Each structure stands twice: as structure tokens, then as C-alpha cells.
Amino acid sequence: MADNNSSDNPSGQGQGRAANSRTNASQKSAADAGPPTVEPTVKARRDRYLVAARPLPGIQPMAVDVIANTLTNMPDVTIVKHVRASGFGALSTGGAGGGMPEIVVAEMDQAQGAALRASAPPHVIVERDALLRHADDMTMAFNNAMTMLPGVGIDIKLRVVGTGGQPLPKASVYVYGLGFPGQGNTDDRGEVTVTVFGGTIETIQAIYVKPASDYWDRMFERPALSDGVNTLQLQSFAATFDGFPQAAYLGWGQQLMKLDQIDAAFTGQGAKVAIIDSGCDSSHPQLTHVTRGMDFTNNRDAASWARDTMSHGTHCAGIITGASNQVKGIRGFAPMAEVHALKVFPGGRFSDLIDALDQCITRQVDIVNLSLGSSEVSELVAHKLVEARQNGIACIVAAGNASGPVQFPGTEPSVLTVAAIGKLGEFPTDSYHARTVTPGLVAGAMFSPKFTCFGPQIAVAGPGVAIVSTVPGGGYASWDGTSMATPHVTGMGALLLAHHPVFRDTARARNEQRVAQLFALLANAGVRYLGDPTREGTGVPDLQRVAGLAAGAGTASASLGVASAGAPLGDAFGNRITFGAPQSPFTGLGINTHLAVNPAILQGLLQLRSAGLI
């Protein structure tokens, strides 16, 4: 049960990290501690707990003073009040000296409270001082006409700022209360007021902030909100990756696939790549070389493909072909490839996909990125994909993000279908990226994100969590999805088509055999991290494992199959479970679980640890 990531590519990690100058965000905040430039960001709301002696026959009840002293000595615990009860049934019969047990009401954060409950001795009661609700809030809402009347909303005033307190406009803010979430976008001052119905300010469960660009998203759970303006602070990419985007940043996916270890002359020159998506903002400093396209949402217009209102195509384009122009920024796989942006979103349907694939055939494209899918199946699209393959066009297709079986057209045998894989330590723990991790799907530092579709059609996996790439307007965003995994494989495919010797001679002919040869090279180069072929196929393609591409790569397996034995998923006892993989920007936030510990005990220890009690 080796940590495949570290055993398979130690040199890759080392070199990659050297290329990036990363900083642990939490460390940087501490190091930069000076005069505050911004009022404190919203913190997690603290819970109230009731703590009292539990009378047990033959056991001396714990004195209230002892309970109060214990709580007082705990860090960050505040005693709010004492409640002198007048009788609680069984409790009332066992108090010392016949009196009622006194209850200490204390505030602490949720993790501390959970730890306190887990560690409480039998003769001490610890329970949450939960909010009371009207009975009809829970059971009568759909029966009682009174409760169907529109309630009075509460306005949550928020200000979203960066690390230095600068306002962040155009950030999407979602507020989750007891009912439907409220949503709004920040104005030029970074401010937004979101109205939510059906609860008080204390019932707000979470606030999610998705910045327009250049910052990590952030989930504020159980936020402690006031009636005034509440400040939500986000962390910039520049704080994580020093000097970004002026300084070069090599994505974790590019490192995993060893893009930094190939001949610098391998730039994809000569390969034709099509991206069938939402267009591509070619005014982005890293995408100015993208000059070809067609807009199928606008009567095949030859110019409007550059207006990407969804950002999706521009993000995919950065992964495939992001080039170091005015800024270093990210590194795409094939910056010298000839890229064709074929726009079908928003509003794309099967007929648009057929037209776009026809255009690929006409333009003699070599490889197509299809970060799209449908819940339905099309016989006509399936025929067109076969025709494309017969014309030597390799279609690389996303598996889907529905957490279920692979979606069409990823189900078609004529294409190469890509699942997503994630890596711990590559994103802040309070970002939405962290929510894609499911404990049972972690193996070493790698994990299969909960959203990825799976099944026997999965050929390979690509990096698909916390992928930083280009977005319209000149910025960058970190996104998740099989949509992000797929362009990693498309970009590598373009490199192979442009530079692998096997495509220089007979296989250069545009036919089905060429596509089959490319798919075999990609699959052969796979490194398995998870041990589950239905979630990763033959693994993540590794440029160093492609026989014949680069010096020293001759050790790669010559036959289609498993390139490395992966750790099985969900082995929580033999593998490292951590949000802080070695040398990652978010280190020091995980634990080792090499010992075989009962999961319940482990959970208790985790709670105590997170509460600062051990």
C-alpha cells in the first residue's frame, strides 16, 4: 500500500515544486502580521452547550465548580451563564444533597463541543443548547396556510475583500439558511445584500463566495453574522503562488503528467486542436495566439467565438494551449498548437455538436476536446463521432460530473473517455474544492472526486480538482470537473501527435489507425493512483512513460495495461489521509493513519485534536 504518488514520481514533485514558489497561505498570514488592513473576516459561529452533572447511583456527582473550572481552563471556551434547574425528572432525584444539578451554559466552536461530548465521563452531561423552533416550522409547513404566507426576509449585508482589504466586485455570493438559498453579486465596492427567508440570522448555515477571478473560492460554515456589514475575506492565488501570474505557475496536473520534464522544444507545433465549447477569449494575455474559430450559436459567425460568456471554453483552452506571452501565468500543454475554438455554448444541442464535428472534419483537425455531455443519447452524434475517428480525428471526452455512470457521448467506443482525479493539499481546506473529497475514495495523496462519473468506459483519468486556468477578462480561476480533466489529456495528445516519431511516418495518414495508436499511447502511459479502473481507467497519462517520446522514457510498459499498481480506494488504515500533502501549499493540516485504529475512536481523536484538546 505504497503512497503511489510519492513512489511513482518523486522527481516530478521535486522539480515541479522547484518551478513554483508556493507559500502556505496560513503561514503567510501569520508572517505578515502587522497593522490590520481590513476588519476581521467573518468567523465560524460558536455553539452553546449545556454542561451538568449526571446523577448516577453510587457515583459522586461532579461538582458544578469543577465543571465550571474545567470549562474556564479550556482555550476559547466562554461560560455564558449558570442555570439553576428546578427539577428534571430523574436528574432531580440524584443531585448532591438532594438539590437540583446546576447547568453551566458555555460557548465554544462546534469542533470543541463535539470533542467535549466525546470525552465527557459518564457522570457529566454535555449537550448542544439547540435553537428552538416553532413546531410548524418542521412538520406543518405544507399544511398550515399561515406558514405559507411569504415570511419577512432578513437582509444579510456582506462585503467581499481580498487579503489587503481591497473590494472584490462581481463575486457570486450564496447564503444558505433554512429555506432556499439567497444569492447576489458584489458591486464595485465588493458589497452585496442577500435576503433569505424562513429563519433568523443565527440559522444561516453557510455562505459560499465564488470570486470572479484570481482568488480561491471560500465556504464560510456557520458564520457568526451581525446586523451590520459582515466582511468576508478571500485568499488570492498570488498569496499561494508567489508572483503569480507574472511569475510562472506549473499546475499540479501538469506536474503530475510530467509536462515540466519533457524536451522544451515539444510545444505542440503542427498539431491542430479543436475545442468544442463556449468559445475562447483570445484577448487573454495567454491566449492571443488562438485566432481560429466559429460560433455555432450565432449563424456560424467567424468572430463571435471569442466572446465567451460562460468562461468554460476559455478555461479549457488555457489548460491545452496557455502560452507565456506578456505574463508567464499558467503553462498549457501545447502552446504552439493550432487551436480552433468551435462555440456551441450557451444553448448547445446535438445538432450543434454534429455541425462542429463536421467542421473538424473539414478543417482536418487532429484532436478534439469535448468537455461536454448530455443526459440523453444521440444515434446521429454517435455516427458522427465514428466518422470523425475514421478521418483520423481523436475525440477526447469528459466522463461527466453526475457521480454516476458515464454520460453520453463518453459512453461511445469511438472516443477516449476521461474521469477526474484530485490531489490533496492543492487547495485551501475552506474552499469548495475540499468538498469534492470523500474519505472512502482517497488513496495516498490522490483521491477520486465525488462528482466524477465512472464505469467501464473510463479510459484514463486527468487532473480535475482545483485546476487553475484562464478565464475571460485576463484573469484566472480554479475550477473542478471532468471538463478540466479532459483538456489535460487533449493537450498531451496534441503533444504526442506533434512530436512522437510514430506519427511522423505511416501513422501520419489521417485514418482510424492513427487514432487507435494515439489512444493506446495515452492509455499505456497511465499511472494508477486509485486502484479502481472504473474511476481512473489505466490511470493518469505520464509523459515520461511514453515510449519513444523523450530520452530515458524507454522504460515505459510497451503493452497496453496497468503501468503501476495502485492503492485500493478507501483503505483508511494504510494510507495517508491529509489535506496537506508533502510540499503542497496547504501542508500541515492532515494526520497520518498508519495504525489500525477503530474508526469511531479515530473520529473521537480527530475531534479532540481539532478542538485543540490534544
Partner 1 sequence: MTNGSAERGNLDQFIVAARSAAAGEDLAAFEDALKSVPNAAIVSRGGRPDQPHLVVTLSSQDAQQLKSRFGPSLIIERNAPLNPL
Binding site for partner 1 (CB under 8 A): 277-278, 310, 312-313, 344-345, 347-355, 358, 371-376, 378-380, 398, 400-401, 407, 481-483, 486
564 CB-near residues (< 8 Å, 6+ apart): 4, 8, 527, 528, 539
Residue 26 C-beta: closest distance to partner 1, Å: 32
* Spatial distance between the Cα atoms of 541 and 493, rounded to a whole number of angstroms: 10
Nearest distance, CB of residue 348 and partner 1, angstroms: 4
Residue number with CB closer to partner 1 (49 or 345): 345
Q: Give the chain's largest Cα–Cα span.
A: 96
> Measured between alpha carbons, how far is 561 from 86 in angstroms, rounded to an integer?
73
C-beta closer to partner 1: residue 385 or 611: 385
Least separation in angstroms between residue 401's CB and partner 1 is: 5
Closest CA to 123 of 71, 70, 55: 55
| Beta carbon of residue 244, minimum distance to partner 1 (angstroms, whole number) | 25
CB of 361 to partner 1, least distance (A): 8
Round to whole Å and give the CA distance between 91 and 35: 51
Per residue in 541-568, is it b (16+ CB within 10 Å) or e — as a string?
bbbbbbbebbeebeebeeeeebbbebbe
The residue assigned the cell 506536474 is 255
Contact (CB, 8 A) for 502 and 521: yes
| Residue 239: φ, ψ to 5° | -75, -25
CB of 106 to partner 1, least distance (A): 47
CA nearest neighbour of 483 among 345, 356, 282: 345
Owner of C-alpha cell 464595485: 188
Residues 528, 569: Cα–Cα separation, whole Å: 11
In the complex, what is the shortest distance from the CB of residue 312 to partner 1, in angstroms, rounded to a whole number? 4
> Which residue lies nearer to partner 1 by CB, 467 or 507?
467
Taking a C-beta distance cutoff of 8 angstroms, is the pair 190, 118 a contact? no
**Would you say 116 or 398 has its CB closer to partner 1?**
398
Nearer to partner 1 (CB atom), residue 376 or residue 505: 376
12 or 409: CB nearest partner 1: 409
| Least Cβ distance, residue 530 to partner 1 (angstroms) | 20
Cβ at position 8, least distance to partner 1 in Å: 27
DSSP H stretches of helix in 120-157 = 135-138, 145-148
Q: Which is nearer to partner 1, 353 or 518 (CB)?
A: 353
Report the alpha-carbon distance of residue 317 to residue 305 in Å, rounded: 13
**Of 179, 173, 178, which is closest to residue 158 (Cα–Cα)?**
173
Q: Closest approach of Cβ 399 to partner 1, in Å?
A: 8
DSSP annotation string for 282-345: TTSTT-TT--EEEETTTTTBSSGGG--SSSHHHHHHHHHH---SSS-----S-TTSEEEEEE--
Nearest distance in Å: CB 377, partner 1: 8
User: Which C-beta is closer to partner 1: that of 4 or that of 371?
Assistant: 371
Cβ-based nearer residue to partner 1, 111 or 280? 280
At closest approach, how far in Å is the CB of 345 from partner 1? 6
Give Cα 404 distance to the centre of its chain: 18
Helix axes 482-499, 312-321, angle to 10 degrees: 30
Q: Which is nearer to partner 1, 374 or 587 (CB)?
A: 374
8 Å CB contact between 565 and 530: no
Closer CB to partner 1, 67 or 372, in the complex: 372
Residue placing its CB nearer to partner 1 in the complex, 91 or 406:
406
